[in-house]
Structure 1
């Protein structure tokens, strides 16, 4: 499996409140984590860093994930533990009161991808065409889902960045946890809204179609978001199931 992670401060923000990475457990299996500290709240960078550090430590201690069920249970349990860490840190440190973060954590098991998700960071699967596989936990997405506004209206809605759910803002949280299939030739994109607020799905698909390395594609995507304003931090992980590979994801 090919993989590449990139984060960029953007052109406007004074600091990068995104965090994440591609991590290996003792069996050399891959966990990807992306967290977007809540903009406009105190210590968003602290919240995302707590999540990144926590998942890295937990995954490095993990010996091996052997089933989808085990992966889903591991992600669900550790999302809850990460939520407690962020919430308790905010409660104990008044300067961090109200902080929170989105999070996407994914485990790759041969031809399955197990996803845990809170917030409006996104996952996309590219298999001939691009498909968003996470559902934004945002106010505008709820309005779209109930038919009150259109998808086009959502893109320019003044409250488009208002989250209905974020990690660390309440004592308990319920993440979306699910598993999808992928196959040789597919690509998988995980990203914060610093990318998707600027680069449309059709343009994302165009980049994902290119016969270039994952690093080249990732750098082009970040550059494009910055060309279009770069008002937010931009973070992404790109992974590819190479054509003809027999799905040994322990390497």
Structure 2
């Protein structure tokens, strides 16, 4: 398994509220994560950083969590616990009131990927020549599209397209989307914050991933493309390649 991660402040924001990275559990299984924080002042930074650190720490201590069922259960329990921790933190610290974060996380083995997500950070799968978004945005605009009230084209420039309906830490209880899918050797999983997906179309992401370049170069190319188109938001990208070559990170590359 090969992995690359990079987060960029973008061209407009003064600080980066995104966070992410990758780490392995005691069985050597990979976890990759991207979180996009929100809230006044530094609260978004706190929410995303706390989420990544807590989830990574929990995964590093996990052992025997190797099957789709056990991984799905672990993700649900861990994210629920982290949500409660964030929510209580916001209640105890006035400067963090209303803080929250999106989260997209994948646990990857050579046979399958289990992903969990809340908010509008996304997971994409490139399997062969098929590139598709696997997560569904928890946003007002996406609900309007699903209900037929607006078109996909109208959604791209909708004045309320940044309204998120579900986020980590904003409510006492949450619902997380969790699913396991198969993937083949040579496939990619791409995780990103909306700083990328709002600027780069799916077919353009596909073209970058198909280039004969390294994982790190692909991630940099995607971020550069988003910045060249305005870079109004923070941009974070995690890329996982399903190869038979072992390439472990230490969980601190974020």
Distance of 2:78 and 2:65 partners within structure 1:
14
- CA 1:41 to 1:131, structure 2 compared with 1: closer, same or farther past 3 Å? farther
Runs of 4+ displaced beyond 4 Å: 39-42, 247-251
- CA 1:224 to 1:3, structure 2 compared with 1: closer, same or farther past 3 Å? same
Task: Check conservation: 1:18, 1:45, Cα contact below 8 A.
Answer: yes
Larger deviation: 191-200 or 41-50?
Answer: 41-50
Is 1:123 the counterpart of 2:123 in the alignment? Answer: yes
Structure 1 SS opposite 2:101:
coil
TM-score (norm 2): 0.93
Q: Which residue of 2 aligns with 1:28?
A: 28
Distance of 1:240 and 1:248 partners within structure 2:
11
Q: Which residue of 1 aligns with 2:192?
A: 191
Distance of 2:94 and 2:77 partners within structure 1:
27
Q: How many residues align?
A: 248
Distance of 2:210 and 2:148 partners within structure 1:
32
- CA 1:98 to 1:42, structure 2 compared with 1: closer, same or farther past 3 Å? farther
Report the aligned-residue RMSD. Answer: 1.7
Task: Check conservation: 1:194, 1:230, Cα contact below 8 A.
Answer: yes
Report deviation, 1:216. 0.6
Distance of 1:66 and 1:11 partners within structure 2:
41
1:63-82 equivalences under 5 Å are 63-82=63-82
Structure 2 SS opposite 1:211:
coil
Distance of 1:227 and 1:4 partners within structure 2:
21
Q: Which residue of 2 aligns with 1:14?
A: 14
Report deviation, 1:187. 1.0
Distance of 2:145 and 2:229 partners within structure 1:
25
Task: Check conservation: 1:41, 1:98, Cα contact below 8 A.
Answer: no
Task: Check conservation: 1:108, 1:249, Cα contact below 8 A.
Answer: no
TM-score (norm 1): 0.94
Q: Which residue of 2 aligns with 1:155?
A: 156
Task: Check conservation: 1:9, 1:15, Cα contact below 8 A.
Answer: yes
1:1-251 equivalences under 5 Å are 1-38=1-38, 43-127=43-127, 128-242=129-243, 245=244
Distance of 1:155 and 1:176 partners within structure 2:
23
Runs of at least 5 residues in structure 1 that lack an aligned partner in the other structure? none
Runs of at least 5 residues in structure 2 that lack an aligned partner in the other structure? 250-254
1:55-86 C-alpha deviation (Å, 9 max, x unpaired): 11111111232211000000000110110111
Structure 2 SS opposite 1:161:
coil
Structure 1 SS opposite 2:137:
coil
